[in-house]
Amino acid sequence: MFKNKCCMYLSRRIELEKIFRKTLSSHNGWESIMYPIKLVLFDLDDTLLHFADYWENSVKDAFRNHFFTSEMNSNDLFDVFSNVEQFLVKKLDSKQISFDEYRTKRFLYSMDQMGKTTDVETAINFEMFYQSISKKHMKPNVMINKIIKDLSNYYQIGVLTNGSKGWQNDKLEAIGLDGIIPKEYVFISEVIGYEKPSPEIYHHVLSMTSLPPEQVLVVGDSWTNDVAAPIQEGLKAIWLNKKNYQVPQEPRPLAVITEIEELRAILLSHIDDSPLD
Ligand SMILES: [Mg+2]
């Protein structure tokens, strides 16, 4: 009897070690996943909804149909716009510009490079037009939605995202997750008044959910926003490292994954097994 239990324990331990083969923090990471996680908080952009899946079609569609750009070559304009966008994303990530500035400047700088004179009002108008068009190009990801639904049987699922209320909610609706993730667990920076990686945004989530930080797991593609900052506030984190960037030494997330589907092995496999005792 004892031997059987011992064997079960050992096989379970081997199984768990296999599951966490990607866990960076060897012994401590193995222990820490055992702590009960109640809430899994997903980042939205480039985690649940991939920018590359809708960006090019949406931007070109918007250029072809917006009053200011419809006469211009949408392919040329897209190349310019993409370069400007990459330049501004770095400024946004390093907090040199706000989200609003990022959205208007990418249009203004692009038009400037195309030799066209325009203004902030037109840039805002284009941005709104682009957003409305993008919704058409955002499609539910069957595999992601399935795992979110499966996870929701065992964990509270939420979203923690930087952006505006309307736009982020539109995205959730477009990808079919608005019906799976309850509204009260959708945390959007514009509504909260703080953006990731400000500590206040994670504190807000803890306060609204009445959960201790170690019971909240953040999953996202940004090392700064979804791993380093939440861990600093005591939350747990899993990094979605789709582009296989070099993994920083510290802090140590529970795991590093390249696909959301890998969460199934990490968060669900041990639930289906019988308890150890
Ligand atoms: Mg993201």
In a shared domain, residues 180 and 125: no
Q: Please report whether residue 9 resides in a domain.
A: yes
Average pLDDT over residues 223-247: 97
**Dist. CA 221 → ligand 1 center (Å):** 5
**pTM beyond 0.75:** yes
**Dist. CA 63 → ligand 1 center (Å):** 25
In a shared domain, residues 61 and 80: yes
Polymer length in residues for the chain? 277
**Dist. CA 67 → ligand 1 center (Å):** 31
Q: Please report whether residue 251 resides in a domain.
A: yes
In a shared domain, residues 127 and 193: no
pLDDT band at 220 (very low <50, low <70, confident <90, very high): very high
In a shared domain, residues 193 and 260: yes
Q: Is the pLDDT of residue 271 over 50?
A: yes
Tokens at 31, concatenated: 């222990």
Q: Which of 84, 112, 137 is the last residue of a domain?
A: 137
In a shared domain, residues 118 and 33: no
Structural domains of the chain, count: 2
pLDDT of residue 272: 55
Matching residue, tokens 């170690």:
214
Residue 124, phi-psi category: left (phi > 0), alpha (psi -120 to 50), beta (remainder): alpha
**Dist. CA 141 → ligand 1 center (Å):** 16
**Dist. CA 222 → ligand 1 center (Å):** 5
In a shared domain, residues 257 and 147: yes
Q: Please report whether residue 8 resides in a domain.
A: yes
In a shared domain, residues 103 and 215: no
Q: Measured between alpha carbons, how far is 186 from 165 in angstroms, rounded to an integer? A: 10
In a shared domain, residues 69 and 198: no
**What CATH number corresponds to the domain at position 240?**
3.40.50.1000
pLDDT band at 93 (very low <50, low <70, confident <90, very high): confident
In a shared domain, residues 42 and 83: no
In a shared domain, residues 6 and 85: no
pLDDT digits (tens, 9 = 90+) for 6-64: 444 444 433 444 444 444 444 344 444 445 899 999 999 999 999 999 999 999 999 99
3-state secondary structure at position 246: coil
156 phi, psi to nearest 5 deg: -75, 130
Average pLDDT over residues 109-120: 96
Q: Are 217 and 236 in contact (CB under 8 A)?
A: yes
pLDDT of residue 27: 37
**Dist. CA 223 → ligand 1 center (Å):** 9
pLDDT of residue 125: 97
Q: Please report whether residue 213 resides in a domain.
A: yes
Q: Is the pLDDT of residue 253 over 50?
A: yes
In a shared domain, residues 34 and 58: no
Q: Which of 225, 229, 260, 224 is closest to 242 using CA atoms?
A: 260
Q: Please report whether residue 277 resides in a domain.
A: no
Q: Please report whether residue 23 resides in a domain.
A: yes
**Dist. CA 79 → ligand 1 center (Å):** 23
**What CATH number corresponds to the domain at position 122?**
1.10.150
Q: Measured between alpha carbons, how far is 156 from 148 in angstroms, rounded to an integer? A: 10
In a shared domain, residues 219 and 160: yes
**Dist. CA 115 → ligand 1 center (Å):** 33
Burial of residue 217 (number of CB atoms within 10 Å: 0-12, 13-18, 19+): buried
**Dist. CA 167 → ligand 1 center (Å):** 14
What is the extent of the structural domain holding 131? 51-137
